[in-house]
Structure formats: C-alpha cells, structure tokens
Copies of this chain bind each other. A is one copy, B any other.
C-alpha cells in the first residue's frame, strides 16, 4: 500500500476505550438486567426467535470473571456500504481477542457475507491489522451486499464454521445485516451449535439507532466530511454572491445526514423528507417554499444561497411515491412491450398513457430529464433507482419555473443562477474522525467480551457517547429487542425498526427553531476539514445530532 503522511501519522493514534474496557479482561463482568421484549409485535417476534428472544440487556462492570481457558476462532464480516471506522472495529476485536489469548484467531471473510458462503477468508495478523489502524474504507477484507437470510445459506455458514472450528461470528452492518445476524444466531441456537453471533451497528445514514444504540458508526465522519464541503461551498457562495447551490446528500430514505449537516453549516434551506411526508407536501409545496426563500433573499440583494436536499426526498413526497409505485407496476406488467420501445421519448409516451390521472399530472410536472431517470435507471428487481434521481436538478428546474411566474406577477425581481452538487462517495471512506476511531475500536473490543460471555444474538452497544470516552458505557442488547414486524416483498418479516428523523426529536426541533433566520440572513458556518491532531474542541466533538439528543 502507498501511504500518505496522514495515514502513517494516524497509525500512531491510540483509540480511547471506555474506562471499563481498559480493565484486565478477567476483571470485567456482564451485569444482566431483566428480560427484554421487542420494539413492538413482541408475540410474533418471540415465536420467530424462540431461543434468543427476551434475553436480558447486559452492561459490562468491574468484577471477577472466570479465567477463560477457551480458544476462540472468530469470523468477522463487513456487510453493505462503506462507513468510516470499519477497520477499527476489526482492530478492536483483534486486540481484545489476542489479549485474551494469543492463540485465538480472527478470520476475515472477504467481500462481505459472500465470503463465508464461499469460504473465502484471510487470517488476520499483526502485519495486516497494523496497516489498517485508524484508516477509512473497508479494503482490509472488502465488503459486499449479499444477504445471509436463507436456511440454505445458514447451513453453509454452519459447515464453514465447523470446518475451521469457528465459534463466533461478528457481523458489522446496518439494520438489515443485524437483523440477519439475529436470525443466524437463532439458527445456531436452534441447531444446538455453539456459534455465537454478535452484530455491530454500522451505517453513515444514521438510521440504525434507538434507546440503546445512540448512533451508528461512520455517521460522524461522513457528516463532517460533507459539512466541510458544504461549508466551503457556502463560503464560495458568500464570496462570489452569484449562485444558488443545490446540494443533494446521501443517506437513503432518512434525512439524518442532511439535518446534521444543516445544523453544522446553517444553510439557507434544508428539506427534511420526514417533514415533507408528515405534512403531506407536494413537489409544488416544496418548490413554493424554496422559491419564497429565494425571493425573500433577493429583496435584500442576496441572489445567492445554499439549499440541502436529502437523497431520499423524492420518495417522501406522497404523490411522487404513488407515481413511482405505479411506474414500477406498469413496467413489470408490460415488460415486453416496454422493453421493445427504442427511444426514451417513446417510453415516456407509453408509460404516460397508462398512468392514473393524478400520477399523470405529477409525471407531466417533472422536467424531461427526470422523467427519463424514472424510466431508465432501474435496479435488478426492475424498480426505479431512487438514489440515481437527481432531485437537486429537479428542484432547480421547478424553482426556476416558479420564479419566472413570480417575476411576471411582480413578486420577484432577482437573478437565479445555480450550481448543483451530489455528495456521497466522498464521505464513506474518509479517515475516521477521532470519535469514530474511538467508538469503532470500542465496539469491536466490546464485541469480543460479548462473545466471551456467549451472548449470542446481541449487538455491541457503547453508550453515553456525548461524554468523554472514558465515561462511555459498554455492553450489549439482544437484537430482537430492536425489532418489529414489517411488510417486505409481500410478507411480514421481523426487522430492526429503521430510525427516521423524528419531528419531535431535539435535532429537528433545534433546526426548526432556527431555519427562518438562516433562510433570510446569511448565517453560514464553515466547519473546515476534519482535524485529528489539534485542540480538543476541534478534534474530539461528535455530531450535533448526538449532542442535542443526549442533552434531553
């Protein structure tokens, strides 16, 4: 590997552990609470997880633990999209494992969950681990999007574990991967096979969180990277004073990233998908809102600004959601005819002719390029790829049209020149911030303690994250505790409840209380690049979302 000076310097960083995890391993005990239940649909979930449902919450505390003579062979899997800090989870797990017994082994399954199915792994050793400490990316063992969910797959996992005497698996992933970790844990228990399965909460999107998982790792670093760029663009906007910048931000359906970045950078506008849905806003409503801010600023001579748009917005607009679902159905039902059409124009005309009146109106209100994106960019299941729709360009077009109309009515007299941006891949593999370096290392280290106490079906939980690291709490909670039943592909499935932005939560409330001032005045804040070595107030703070939520 070719190493930048920063990468070399970051090797020297010692991630901070919670005080309890700094103890000798045999001085750490699991303190168990009472039986737990699910987030909801407890009965259904208890039926699906007869062996792992209702287990107690666990917190690690100081105490005498039995001298552990067992040898551990642990497999680790990175699942899904990259998030800064994934390497440190593995490093923390590795260090705890080797501290317990140098003979313990860590199998890194390559390329995500398919690694275990294909029995593709590397044995992680000091040489490999030390190359990846405090670095971004998942390149140590790569990730993948295969899902471990069928009984056949589980049987293969079981075989592979037997073959290598693997007695624990750590799955580092998002809500779906942790759901699957719970199902796999239940599978092993039901079969009477003693393979402990532990999950770790990963996703930059920030939508895997609840009372016990305060944040998923990577969210901090990704938001800081995007906020750096947004701040730089804000400063450019305020220097040149001639462009409105529309910036779309990654984050799947939830708007956590957009909201966090808004709080960090104080742009003029940030659309929050969850609010759009709750208020049943149409594309026209959103357009009118943006146009009104543009017009208000123009009155003060400010023909510039910054508007943040969450990636998932389009699906939160109820009328567009209906339109997308109709298009998905129409394309599926008329696959042959649709596929035979040669030009984009003919596809647009064909679909248009079949839409319901309401959806046709919505479809016709879209710029042609967006109509084309709705029809052309389809995922392997034939569905519209929402993440590829350039919503920021869509809004620029609709706002432009609205402003032109307002100009005719004498209600707007400014200039509206625009730039558009999309940030996603820029933040998923950044060097983890000090927070994510510490948090991830702790999650991995802690995962080994869960394994040692045979706490299968648990997710590694490190809490009290707004306090300095030594005051963090470490433990685990049963994954089933975070589940409810949801309709997926036509059937009821047990899944971890996705955490969307709560409109009565502290971060949104804070944003709501400020946005009118931010809209009209120029209150831009410029966070700058993530710093790893400077003053603590620059380097060691985490997200505003976490600070606001924990200040409750």
Give chain A's interface residues, CB within 8 Å of chain B.
2-7, 9-10, 81-82, 111, 135-139, 142-143, 225, 228-229, 231-233, 235-236, 238-241, 245, 264, 266, 419, 421, 425-431, 523-535, 537-538, 541
Contacts and interface: CB of A to CB of B under 8 A. Distances in A.
Given A229-B229, A531-B534, 11 more contacts: A4-B527, A5-B541, A6-B531, A6-B538, A7-B526, A9-B537, A136-B526, A142-B239, A142-B241, A143-B239, A235-B429
A528 B235 contact: no
A527 B530 CA distance: 13
Given A232-B426, A425-B419, A532-B531, A537 B137 contact: no
A238 B527 contact: no
A228 B526 contact: no
A136 B426 contact: no
B2 A233 contact: no
A236 B526 contact: no
Nearest to A10: B528
A530 B533 contact: no
A529 B236 contact: no
Contacts of A264: 4
Contacts of A526: 4, 6-7, 135-137, 429, 431
Nearest to A241: B142
Nearest to A138: B239
- Which of A3, A239, A535: most chain B Cβ within 10 A? A239
Contacts of A138: 239-240
Nearest to A525: B2
Contact of A235 (B139, B241, B534): B139
A236 B428 contact: yes
Given A6-B528, A532-B531, A535-B9, A232 B236 contact: no
20 contacts: A2-B523, A4-B231, A4-B527, A6-B526, A6-B527, A6-B538, A81-B240, A82-B239, A111-B241, A139-B239, A142-B240, A225-B529, A232-B427, A232-B429, A235-B429, A430-B528, A431-B526, A529-B529, A532-B534, A533-B533
Nearest to A82: B239
Contact of A143 (B4, B111, B240, B429): B240
A17 to B, nearest CB: 22
Given A136-B526, A239-B139, A527-B4, A430 B232 contact: yes
Contacts of A142: 239-241
A235 B6 contact: no
Contacts of A245: 425
A424 B210 CA distance: 38
- Which of A82, A228, A524: most chain B Cβ within 10 A? A228
A530 B269 CA distance: 28
A506 B1 CA distance: 24
Contacts of A530: 529
Nearest to A528: B6
Nearest to A368: B344
A421 B425 contact: yes
Contact of A538 (B5, B81, B136, B225): B5
A2 B136 CA distance: 30
A424 to B, nearest CB: 9
Contact of A531 (B139, B236, B533): B533
A506 B231 CA distance: 35
Please list the 10 inter-chain residue pairs (A to B) with the smallest Cβ-Cβ separation, ordered nearest first: A533-B534, A529-B529, A137-B235, A235-B429, A6-B528, A138-B239, A2-B525, A236-B429, A4-B527, A5-B538
B2 A236 contact: no
A168 to B, nearest CB: 24
Contacts of A528: 4, 6-7, 10, 136, 430-431
A198 to B, nearest CB: 22
A427 B228 CA distance: 10
A430 B386 CA distance: 31
A431 B7 CA distance: 21
A459 to B, nearest CB: 23
A429 B469 CA distance: 33
Given A228-B529, A431-B528, A538-B6, A82 B426 contact: no
A236 B525 contact: no
A3 B236 contact: no
A532 B528 CA distance: 10
A429 B304 CA distance: 16
A2 B263 CA distance: 12
Contacts of A425: 232-233, 236, 245, 419, 421
A231 B524 CA distance: 27
A145 B203 CA distance: 43
Contacts of A428: 232, 236
A418 to B, nearest CB: 11
Contacts of A135: 526
Contacts of A431: 526, 528-529
A2 B541 CA distance: 17
Contact of A537 (B5, B228, B524): B5
